[in-house]
Structure 1
Amino acid sequence: MSSGPDDKLIFKLLGPIEVIGAEEQVQVPPGRQQTILGALLLEANRVVAMDQLIDLVWEHTPPSTARAQIQICVSALRREFTRVGVDAQIETRQPGYLLRVAADKIDAVVFERRVAESEAATRQGRVEEASTILRSALALWRGPTLGGAAATLQNKALRLDEKRLSVLENCIDMELLLGRHHALIAELQSLVTEHPLRERPRGQLMLALYRSGRKPEALDVYRTGRDLFIEHLGLEPSDQLRKLETAILTDDQVLRLDQQKPAPITVQNVVSPHQLPATIADFVGRQDLVARVEAVLSDDHTTMPVVNISGKAGIGKSTLAVHVAHRVAAETYPDGQLYCDLRGTQAQPATPAEVLGRFLSALGAVGSSLPDSADERADMYRSMLANRRVLVVLDDAASESQVHQLLPGSPTCGVIVTSRTRLTGLAGSHLVDVDFMDSGDALELLRRIIGVQRLGSEPVAAAALADVMGGLPLALRIIGARLAARPHWTLASMVGRLSDERHRLDELVHGDMVVRASLSLTYDGLAAETRRVMRLMSLLEAESLPVWTASALTDDERHRGFDMLERLVDAQLLDVAGSDVTGLPRYRFHDLIRLFAKEQLAVHEAPAAQLAAVERVTGGWLAMAEQAHKKLYGGDFTVLHGHGQRWQPHASYVGQVLEDPLGWLESERQSLCAAVFQAADAGLDELCWDLATTLVTLFETRSYCDDWQHTHERALEAVRKAGNKRGTAALLCSLGSLHQSQRRMDAARTALEPALELFLELDDVHGLALVRRNLGLLEYHEGRPERAALVFEQSLAGFQHVDDVVGQAYVVSQLAQLSLDRGEHELAVGQLRGALGMCREISSPRVEAQILYRLGSAMLVQGRYEQAQQLITSVLGMVQRSGDIVGESYALHSLGLINGRMRMFTEAGRLLRRAIRLCEENLDRVGAARIRLDLAQLVAQRGETFHAVAIVEQAMMTFQELRLALWESKAVAVLEKITAETAAPTAVPSNGGAR
């Protein structure tokens, strides 16, 4: 166990830097050498760039001799390490240096390991052992991290010091649980003195004093802290600290030690993904590598196992990774397997944020709950994988930086990374190099492809063929497939055909020339139309493609794409990557074959022909997305379209897609977004903006805010470059909707006002109706109901002019909300019933649910509680079935209010808190704050005035921060009401079933 003696440490960072050699301690001079050593230690076993070291030493004014001076310092450190026998090396690695040292020789790493051990012990209920381990971890500290190092390193040092404080507080919590309150008082008093504005140790000290029979002192600690918070921060203590003070004042039994139970540790309820591609049936050889990787992943671990499989292009890295992953998945990683192609060899590798978004979705996180930053996504990802046995396969990594945030934090997980180069900067990873196949394995692979009888009939030619292929699996598979497709060819004839290519095959060791030549052999044997499909398929950027795209690329009205793609599959030039919602296959290229196809494309297809092919495929995506929107909304409502040319896939295929239009949009989300980006890059501005805005049907329903923003921003660049005013206006209008949904009102106005000007200039009635609808909402949310009503009336007139029924229904429902706010209940009900009739005429379930929600709200304010409950319950079912998380939060809020009015207080509180949680997951701070106002009034009704006031104050802070004057005034009114009723509280039955 790593919590043992520390006499094996070489490098100590947790305090002034110390380096301990076999003979004596190294004296590192302060200044540059300490700064450089500190930087290398903080990134131990990872490369630190020369430019980074220069910035750390001189910040923004380095001398002309900076590089030379860094080299001199590194040389001095190396000499000193050698002189005193330090078991570590500073290696020169482009673009800088790498300090190679065993992880258990650095105190900071040992600290992290002990913290992880303690967490494991805690999960198993071994609290006393966990606290002992944490004390051994904390004992490693000798002062502030990197005590004498340069200020430029202090940001990283401060993160470690903050971690120490957090760990110390966790340790004290455990020891309080173990009844050691007497022994902790002195340490806590010192900690509170050092960090007077830190609430957690202050609360711990209050609890320790109280349990030691020193109640007045415990209360004095609170009052002193409160004065400090008000003086220095202008804030009251947190709700948690105020509750602790109240508990101490009232001698609440919950503070007694025998009432404290260790919090149950539960595994997060996440989905178990199974994303591994299919393993190949004819996997051959590599038994030593399979055993090595399997052993690393299957052994018991105190740290997470990471395997880096590296080798030349086409050597079989991905095949080996997937093969081993399937072998260990069921027994060692039963909680799931995550897989992603990082596209490290492509022009636009996958970003960590993108991959984390995919993984979090696969683990069960809804799109609306995904944080914006990669760091926050990484935190959520590690939390969801904590204590779970999940295998992560990261294929085709470009660099360590692409991988670091994708590594789980739990030793119960395992990781396989494949890459063209060795990723030596992945600390603690097991490197596995994949080399060429030997002749025996090469022959065995050929035997499995073409059959034992055929191989055995020409043993000499078979051996020669394996030798000519140079042991490259990709080349062997290509030639084997070609022979299998031509049973009348002899192996000797194939050897003869390859003899003139020998020079190119020999170049395999140095690069990819042999791969190109081998691919040419298969490519040249295809029919002309199949070769053209292969070339044109390489145009498209999506990870995998459905059948119809082949027909669109060639403008084939007979829709023979399936047959041509299957010929490419037979020739091993295209892979089947699963199936789409219709059950037809999806296809993808191996990256090397895509490069080859692109080379052929440049030779054989004119730029105009390439552009026309991309235009047809984009037109096909738009045609189907348009049909999906119509099916979901009952017609072509609340969306603008441009004049881009549509391309229609086969009618039967479209019919199958429209059986589940939202499911199809979801399944093709990556391809549809890629089509927007490619259309933008190609200058297809009309198709680009039209497809981007049509996809809001999906983005809005499933809260894919990242996709919404990225597609629109890229399309906006394209339309502005083309001078496309209508496309610009449509995208700005849609971006305004996005910003409003995220409560970014300033950003919404910045987008909507220019959109209004453009639509006015174009005299676009439909566009004006849409942008005025959004501006009306903006006026309403900013507290100007009269102005909102005027803008809504203008919008309604526009929708009526263009016969947009859903647009009319939506605006009428907004006008009804204004009527409700004015107390004109009957008018509102009449308006809503009219809007509901419009939706039902054309079958628009999403807007119908929104209108039913408002109708239920109208019933609520009229006191018709049972009718309101029935309506909102039906709405809740509708939005849950469609996956509308935002709509679900609204329905729960309304049901909470209804239950409160029906005096079902316990159920009302549960529903309101659930609605708040959903809003917070959707990053809807305003929605959460609005619900808190209603929760506060419910809590006040139960006599919990102190708690109710705290809830209102929390909501008010949100309204003030976002400058929502109308809601801030409502919060003030709620606060005044609660405080006015404090003098004579009404007793409320505690059982939630009382009416």
Structure 2
Amino acid sequence: MVNEGDAAEPSVRFRVLGPVEILIRDKPVPLRAGRQQTVLSMLLLEANHVVGTDRLIDAVWGDDPPTTAGSQIQICVSALRRILAEAGGIIETRAPGYLIRLSPDQLDMQVFQDTVTEAGRVSRAGEVAEAAALLRDALALWSGNALASVTSRLVRAKAARLDQTRLSVYEECLDRELQLGRHRELVTELMTLVSQNPLRERLCGQLMLSLYRSGRQAEALEVYRTARTELVDQLGIEPGEELRRLERAILAQEAALDWTGTAEPAAHTAGPRQLTAATADFTGRMEQVDALERALTQSGTAANPCGVVPLVVIAGKTGVGKTALAIHVAHRLAATHFPDTQLYADLRGTRSDPLSSEELLMSFLRALSPPGTKFPDTPEERAQLYRSRLAARKALIVLDDVADEAQVRMLLPGSAGCAVIITSRVRLTGFPGSRLINLGQFDHGEAIELLGRVVGEDRVNAEPAAARTLSELVGGLPLALRVAGARLAARPHWTLETMVRRLADEHRRLDELVHGDLAVRASISLTYGGLPPQVRLLFRELSDLPWDTFPSWVAAAVLDIGVREAEDLLDELVDAHLLDYVAADSRGSISYRFHVLIRIFAREQTGEEPRREDEGRRRLLERVCGGWLFLAEHAHGLLYGGQFTLLHGSAPRWEPRGGFHETPLADPLAWLESERLNLTAAVRHSAGAGLDELCWDLASTLVTLFEARGYFDDWTDTHKFALDAVREAGNRRGTAAILSSLGSLHVTRRQTATAPELLDGAMEIFEELDDHHGRALVLRSQASLDYHMGETRLSLARYDAALRELREAGDLIGVAHVLVNIAQHQLDAGAPDEAVKQLDEALGICRSVGSRRTEAQVLYRLGLAHLEQDRVDAAGEALGSVLLLVRRNDDPVGESYARLGMSAVHRRLGNLKTAEAMLLRTLEISEDLADTVAQGRALFELGTLLAEGADPARARVHLERARAIFRDQRLRLWENRTLDALDALDGPAG
């Protein structure tokens, strides 16, 4: 504990509420302008928190730091430490930057905030005069605009927020003094403030009231007329309802405006009431409201016999209305169930600067404690005091935007008279006894309900289809719904369909969303206009890209800058609510997206401000699509141990700088899966932009994903776009590569009627170009087709030719694939020992380059070979390893064949039930993938298994289905085997 007598005046103080200053024993210390003041300002604004070196560099140099920036920051910090030497090393080095350690009374900004908080407490207790005095004390700490001596863009942005806070406190102080009847004394001061801030309606209203109470009615009305003119001219809006109501009251000389001679005391409260205002147009969510109220009010009932503190977690993605629901319910319950205290805090869990539990604990303690209270030193002791303060209260604590359980565990009360509402983007299930409510997107009914409140339910019910379309056109944005509804309400002769038609033209949509002082474009424009030029440029260029969502590196490609730098610019757009985060994936990668109306606004700006010429736009798209190609190519290399089994072109790649791709590609197949829609769109858009070389290369690289996951429709669609692009450009090698890949697809899907033409066309071009690697890949596919058609000798000859050319090309995994297929020929011929030799060589290749996916394919065939050698244990070991590998890689195609192999092992061991279960699961997977060959194989094995188990009726059903599949796919070898099995059923044993 800190003893009262231990308090002493600090020897070092800092000022940021004006020019930045250091005072040692109340004497200012000279500071060098520029870097030194900027670094000190950043540390002071985040006092007792670490400020990263990169952030300091950005504050000092912005977008163009020198190569020595890091060492220059270190020099600045060293110089500040020398100035503060007698304070005992107040600046600490903490990875990844620095921290300035201060007590609350050393920094005028903190003293200001604490004094304002205390003023609020005494005001709620009815001590208006004391509150006014405290607010005047807080304002007296200012000596000009915040951090007036610093020009850094980052510092100025933070300073602007401080200046706005100062103005709000000034208005609060003036309200208290007007309550005390000081209207005559305030007139001159208010005139000055209004002239400096003509758009602050609250100040205008205070000046009007002080003039009226001073007997100057005409001047009060003139203030209103001047304010209205300013608002209309500068913002295009009318004054708010409160100011208009005050004007009407002054005109009517209402008695309520007169000062009664005493300050009106505030209602006494047993504790702080920190809830923010409830959403006026809160709509729907009745099921969740009921569930919340039941969970929060069960204390002392049979549902809560042990007196557990009721705790509810509202979880859902950003923007679904978690906070609105929490505040709505909190207000409904405050007076009846939690009259003593309501605490509220935004913990900023989804932002880069979340509140720590220690910070918030102190904030709550100050709100709950008498002025002058000395608090314990340790967080544990403070948490005990916090729980004691709440022990006898009926209190509701709302903790908004929580990152994880650890962030709030210290803030949970211990007495059952309290309750807690937590909102979070993630499902927090670590609180014993808590209730989790998952909040989904706003449904159509709730959107229509909001529209009906504004327009009238009759009109909405008369045109349900138009109401739905209207909601979709504005992306469900409440402001836009209100504007559209207000326009309809003001024009009863319009139908909802009229509004839909007016909104349908994207180029005029924002023009339509204006009514009175409500305007979507004006709202967005105010925010857009305050952005730095480079952020505005990024905003405009991103809006022209055709992707719905995009990762941060795309922004880096747009401006051709580093990824970390682009992320800082994206954060500014997110902070300004002009761009939305899409929840991070399992690797921590964040994507972004536009709201539909904000994207329209951004595209409008390309006509208002300088934009890139058409060739520049093409280069921009080339960089972005080149980035997708680089990452897809890198993912393929990680899966196959190099750029094997693929042909690549000469299209330029764009590599995200700073090793960005290492983290998302830690699981390359999962990354390809997560970005599948963006990658396939990149093929489509590069084709449309005439980037034919890039288009075919990316399309063929994505076969890595399509083949592993069975995305055969994507394989077809991307290759059709690519084929059109290369043929239109006269790109012969690209044409051959795409024909070869399409031929491989048709072989994979056993489309034996169409595959030969595609492969022959590819071979003709590769021979014309003397491209041996291309020839080898076509030969491999042709050999596979021959095998399935029962042309064994031709298949082997082509595999041998492909093997020679693949060895010459250095395509090691291509060699391994061919060795596996030759081994299958040898297995069919009853030569398992020869097959094992081929497979051992292929396995060595896979392990030497690190291709786990191909290793699984080799092990599968090796397991089959061991079965032919009657080495059942070795076969089980190999096929068991395959099953583990493919399941770990989430490879359903591989899993279906691994289970097929394992069923044979169990069959040899006499585990017929297990073998049947394996085959049934194979059948399920292959049916999901529409892999007809795997279905046929599973049905064949099931039929022969059931025949052995003396169940000929079921065996015949499966074998007949298998025969039909093999006949349709023209798989003569397997069709003949199935006919033999059916003949056996008809023999004497059958």
Taking structure 1 as the reference length, the TM-score comes to 0.50
SS in 2 for 1:744: coil
Correspondence for 1:716 among 719, 723, 727: 723
- TM-superposition CA deviations, 1:744-797 (whole Å, max 9, x none): 232333432222222222222211111221111111111111111111112112
Task: Count residues in correspondence.
Answer: 549
Is residue 821 from structure 1 mapped to residue 828 from structure 2 by the alignment? yes
What is aligned with 2:769? 762
Correspondence for 2:937 among 927, 930, 941: 930
Correspondence for 1:944 among 947, 951, 974: 951
What is aligned with 1:642? 649
Is residue 782 from structure 1 mapped to residue 801 from structure 2 by the alignment? no
SS in 2 for 1:576: strand
Please list, as runs of the form range in 1=range in 2, the aligned pairs for 1:424-435 lying within 5 A after superposition. Answer: none
Is residue 627 from structure 1 mapped to residue 622 from structure 2 by the alignment? no
Letter of the aligned partner of 2:674 in structure 1? S
Correspondence for 2:740 among 710, 715, 733: 733
What is aligned with 2:557? 552
What is aligned with 1:418? none
Displacement, 1:422? 6.9
What is aligned with 1:45? none
What is aligned with 1:699? 706
Correspondence for 1:285 among 271, 277, 280: 280
Correspondence for 1:543 among 544, 548, 551: 548
Displacement, 1:636? 0.9
Displacement, 1:559? 5.0
Displacement, 1:670? 2.1
Q: Is the 8 A contact 2:733 2:766 kept in 1?
A: yes
Q: Is the 8 A contact 2:277 2:327 kept in 1?
A: no
- TM-superposition CA deviations, 1:576-601 (whole Å, max 9, x none): 22225553532211112212222323
Correspondence for 1:597 among 583, 599, 602: 602
Letter of the aligned partner of 2:949 in structure 1? R
Displacement, 1:706? 2.8
Please list, as runs of the form range in 1=range in 2, the aligned pairs for 1:967-982 lying within 5 A after superposition. Answer: 967-982=974-989
Displacement, 1:659? 2.0
Is residue 753 from structure 1 mapped to residue 735 from structure 2 by the alignment? no
What is aligned with 1:117? none
Q: Is the 8 A contact 2:552 2:563 kept in 1?
A: no
- Say if 1:391 and 1:725 are closer, same or farther in 2 by CA, change over 3 A: farther
Q: Is the 8 A contact 2:557 2:620 kept in 1?
A: yes
- Say if 1:884 and 1:293 are closer, same or farther in 2 by CA, change over 3 A: closer
Q: Is the 8 A contact 1:743 1:924 kept in 2?
A: no
Q: Is the 8 A contact 1:552 1:647 kept in 2?
A: yes
Q: Within 2, Cα distance between the matches of 1:566 and 1:751?
A: 48
- TM-superposition CA deviations, 1:7-48 (whole Å, max 9, x none): xxxxxxxxxxxxxxxxxxxxxxxxxxxxxxxxxxxxxxxxxx
What is aligned with 1:657? 664
- Say if 1:651 and 1:925 are closer, same or farther in 2 by CA, change over 3 A: same
Correspondence for 2:876 among 869, 893, 916: 869
Q: Within 1, Cα distance between the matches of 2:778 and 2:549?
A: 36
Q: Is the 8 A contact 2:483 2:513 kept in 1?
A: no
Correspondence for 2:925 among 918, 926, 939: 918
- TM-superposition CA deviations, 1:649-671 (whole Å, max 9, x none): 12331221332222222222222
Is residue 903 from structure 1 mapped to residue 901 from structure 2 by the alignment? no
- Say if 1:282 and 1:724 are closer, same or farther in 2 by CA, change over 3 A: farther
Q: Is the 8 A contact 1:581 1:657 kept in 2?
A: no
Q: Is the 8 A contact 1:470 1:505 kept in 2?
A: no
Q: Within 2, Cα distance between the matches of 1:798 and 1:422?
A: 70
Q: Within 1, Cα distance between the matches of 2:657 and 2:845?
A: 33
Is residue 561 from structure 1 mapped to residue 556 from structure 2 by the alignment? no
- Say if 1:600 and 1:856 are closer, same or farther in 2 by CA, change over 3 A: same
- Say if 1:596 and 1:824 are closer, same or farther in 2 by CA, change over 3 A: same
Q: Within 1, Cα distance between the matches of 2:968 and 2:860?
A: 29
- Say if 1:552 and 1:320 are closer, same or farther in 2 by CA, change over 3 A: closer
Q: Is the 8 A contact 2:510 2:597 kept in 1?
A: no
- Say if 1:550 and 1:775 are closer, same or farther in 2 by CA, change over 3 A: same
Is residue 531 from structure 1 mapped to residue 536 from structure 2 by the alignment? yes
Please list, as runs of the form range in 1=range in 2, the aligned pairs for 1:320-719 lying within 5 A after superposition. Answer: 393=441, 508-509=513-514, 514-557=519-562, 559-580=564-585, 582-602=587-607, 604-605=610-611, 606-719=613-726
Displacement, 1:570? 2.4
Q: Within 2, Cα distance between the matches of 1:864 and 1:691?
A: 43
What is aligned with 1:830? 837
Q: Is the 8 A contact 1:325 1:391 kept in 2?
A: no
SS in 2 for 1:658: helix
Q: Is the 8 A contact 1:819 1:825 kept in 2?
A: yes
Q: Is the 8 A contact 2:484 2:513 kept in 1?
A: no
- Say if 1:578 and 1:759 are closer, same or farther in 2 by CA, change over 3 A: same
Q: Is the 8 A contact 1:538 1:594 kept in 2?
A: yes
Q: Within 1, Cα distance between the matches of 2:711 and 2:658?
A: 29
Structure 1 gaps, min length 5: 1-279, 299-317, 330-388, 401-420, 446-466, 473-503, 984-995
Correspondence for 2:847 among 840, 845, 852: 840
Q: Within 1, Cα distance between the matches of 2:861 and 2:483?
A: 74
Q: Within 2, Cα distance between the matches of 1:293 and 1:863?
A: 63
Q: Is the 8 A contact 2:514 2:520 kept in 1?
A: no
Q: Is the 8 A contact 2:543 2:603 kept in 1?
A: yes
Displacement, 1:803? 0.3
- Say if 1:293 and 1:678 are closer, same or farther in 2 by CA, change over 3 A: farther
- Say if 1:601 and 1:288 are closer, same or farther in 2 by CA, change over 3 A: closer
Letter of the aligned partner of 2:658 in structure 1? A
- TM-superposition CA deviations, 1:57-102 (whole Å, max 9, x none): xxxxxxxxxxxxxxxxxxxxxxxxxxxxxxxxxxxxxxxxxxxxxx
What is aligned with 1:26? none
Select the structure of larger CA radius of gyration.
2
Displacement, 1:837? 0.8
- Say if 1:627 and 1:797 are closer, same or farther in 2 by CA, change over 3 A: same
Q: Within 2, Cα distance between the matches of 1:511 and 1:751?
A: 64
Displacement, 1:468? 12
Please list, as runs of the form range in 1=range in 2, the aligned pairs for 1:72-151 lying within 5 A after superposition. Answer: none
Structure 2 gaps, min length 5: 1-274, 294-317, 330-436, 449-458, 488-508
- Say if 1:576 and 1:715 are closer, same or farther in 2 by CA, change over 3 A: same
Q: Within 2, Cα distance between the matches of 1:626 and 1:769?
A: 20
Q: Is the 8 A contact 2:863 2:876 kept in 1?
A: yes
Taking structure 2 as the reference length, the TM-score comes to 0.50
Provide the aligned C-alpha RMSD in A: 4.3
Q: Within 2, Cα distance between the matches of 1:468 and 1:941?
A: 74
Q: Within 2, Cα distance between the matches of 1:669 and 1:978?
A: 47
Displacement, 1:841? 0.8
Q: Is the 8 A contact 1:642 1:687 kept in 2?
A: yes
Q: Within 2, Cα distance between the matches of 1:864 and 1:919?
A: 28
SS in 2 for 1:587: strand
- TM-superposition CA deviations, 1:541-591 (whole Å, max 9, x none): 222222222221111258511121122222222122222555353221111
Percent of matched pairs sharing the same residue: 41
Displacement, 1:805? 0.3
Q: Within 1, Cα distance between the matches of 2:527 and 2:486?
A: 18
Q: Is the 8 A contact 2:621 2:686 kept in 1?
A: yes
Q: Within 2, Cα distance between the matches of 1:581 and 1:528?
A: 34
Please list, as runs of the form range in 1=range in 2, the aligned pairs for 1:300-315 lying within 5 A after superposition. Answer: none
